[in-house]
Structure 1
């Protein structure tokens, strides 16, 4: 009986020569009768391919099986691989919704920022190539990538362009710009290169998963590269000392009209907090001069005092119109005689 390696070799030779090769051979996939691909491999064009052999996706895209997708906008992989939105919904910022968030453009069922989306860069459907980023609606190589033969590549891990464009490693691997026989401890083979999936922005966590522009790979997860003094909160960089949406801590939002000062919510200078809202006591008709001191419907608040709204004037009975009030005609408490009306401040026959 032939040994196991020799038996496998015979199977391969049989398939190559076309003698009895069937689709149930483990290297085939994609058909109902085909067995699943082995662990750490995916089905690409009806063949099982090891994940480490797959090329890198465009920046900001995640590999879901054989496809590179943007989980922030892909309706079939919304937020995570395999999470599909219901019919009629779109994927906006990694969530299934009925409409795109403000500032995003709907491209079929995807909500994208045309100025930065690698799947729709500049216009819907204009996809950037592998390892490209979309900047101001134009695809370009993301530093420190270099362009070799019209494609973006990492000279530190590209087996065909190792160290310099055109320098191929053949059957060897590219590590830190040099050809090696095997990857060093702690590094993983992705394609023909050796990378650290814990920190490599083009292979973050898994081979082919690229972080977006402005992101870094930390512990195998893409994170925003926030400037000094700010932190990541809900996918944005926030200054906890001054951001009213994240005041003092991520998610701690200030109330209506409040500002964030030194990490604490407060009303702007010249305003006071009344019933949870910031108001100007000098002009608020509901809080004139003090919280809860409301003016009447005929009054306005001026310099923290309720005053009759022009052309009304204050008389003993309240705010009146001296030009037409028969009990205060022309001046307060001047009452017109029976049968007369007040017209333009004078008592006259109707």
Structure 2
């Protein structure tokens, strides 16, 4: 086991070898959440309800990049709620970077998106409240170590008798191998946050005791979330989790830089995937020549009746050359988005777009004045006789 080898080597350097002895209880404490698959971490290797996706523990209930299962990305206009991509977050939840969370209990979004509680805090009713650090237990409102507290040895209220010490959760006459007597109890100074590296040396918020040194497990790529949990490749440690800042919408380009709703993280930049031709509907999805990105899908605006000429411009029939066209039955002619009779349509007289002036009428494809036209006197195709004139729409001799 990788961590066991590392710890064993370090124990040899710090406290010496003790043939036949096993590491004291608590020596591996805090590492379970980041143990790789197959190395004492179970099939997932991540603490419930997290799941292991390529060596990174993620919450599949709200991660839009791994919604329900690893690699399942929610498309544009959808969010991840309880492991399913849906159109909107259910009542009682809040959308944060494409995922639906309960801001009243989510320690990474406590009371609002991006409001993260410290490693030793919990989110209660949308407010970060101090809780007991890893390895400690609340006994009557006080955080204690059951493996070292003589007043609570192994369980709250289980006190050792006079002269006894609490060693690895049991009352004994002296401390066991690998433990040091500190503050009334036997402590593993290599892993104890309250006595890290020595008696009285307590680690701060967000820190863990890793081989006798207090380390910030919220940002340390070699100890991300727990001692020895190293991030792989180019991943960075953000809020105690390994993330790829080149593609994570919660930490795009840098830790804490969350992309807005509808945006994806594409090569360290927040990008609106609903209208980007280079990232249409997802990072790296390029629209072809002649296509535009409309609502997260590539569309040919030259002939798409739902996006004719531009995104969102709909046609009732056909889109030809980026303009709406309709199928007309003769003698009607298609003029842009409607059928017109070029013989009598004042807006398309003789040809599409030819408009007759004020007072004129379209007769036989020509704009005429019915008041004085001898061939169309008073109405179309009503001609005056030989020698007559048309005046006021009436033939006169």
From the CA coordinates, give the structure whose radius of gyration is larger: 2
Does TM-score exceed 0.5, indicating one fold? no
- TM tier, shorter chain? 0.3 to 0.5
